[in-house]
Amino acid sequence: MPTLLRLYDASRKPAHWTDIIRPGQYAAFAKIIPTSAACDAEGRPFSAADEATCLVFDDLHEAEAFCRGQVLRAPAVRFEIFDSQGRLNSALLVIVHPEKVAGLEGNPRGTRTRTIVAAALATAALPPIWYDYAFSRGRLIFPTIVAINLLIVAARLIQLNRSYAHAEEERARRLAEHRQASKMGGATSAQR
């Protein structure tokens, strides 16, 4: 069962949540998908910033199962699960309702779309360059400038896809490490 933890409480020692969470624990933060506003696990926004909370779990599997169940009850909520280091690294898991997956950054559909658009832009850059050099022997600069800009946008889209892929690989590696540590911790406690 998760522990509800206020992110900052001046009357508490320590006051900040990152000083309370221990290694091996996981914090889940809820957000309302359309606005990215912080909310509780039911999707109710906090009325003031000092009321913001997170859910703390002792087990990654428990955190994931709770959040998956919760998004089925509150489809407009997005959960981000972090390890004990908090927001120092990206979220280990981002959990949304299955119908909302297409809206996540770096989703496969978006990657395919960016790749297709990049290929179309690169292809569209060829005729202006050809026209410039075939008919004006390079003296008509405008078509070449348009083509260069098309190629720059295409390269930027490919770079964006690669950065999303790299971030996903890093997240998956960290998640695998945490799951492995969880299994080893479970095996150790089962042997006792």
Domain-by-domain residue ranges, the chain?
A: 3-103, 108-191
- The 10s digit of each residue's pLDDT in 72-129 is 999 999 999 999 888 888 899 999 998 888 777 778 888 999 999 999 999 999 998 8
Give the confidence band of 186 by pLDDT, cuts at 50, 70, 90. low
Tell me the two tokens of residue 91. 């979220």
Give 138's pLDDT tier (boundaries 50, 70, 90).
low
pTM (two decimals): 0.75
Sign of CA dihedral 141, 142, 143, 147: positive
> In this model, does residue 39 exceed pLDDT 60?
yes
State which amino acid sits at residue 157. L
pLDDT reported for residue 190: 36
pLDDT at residue 137 tops 80: no
Percent of the chain with pLDDT over 90: 49
Query: Can you name the residues that pair with 28 across neighbouring β-strands?
Result: 55, 81
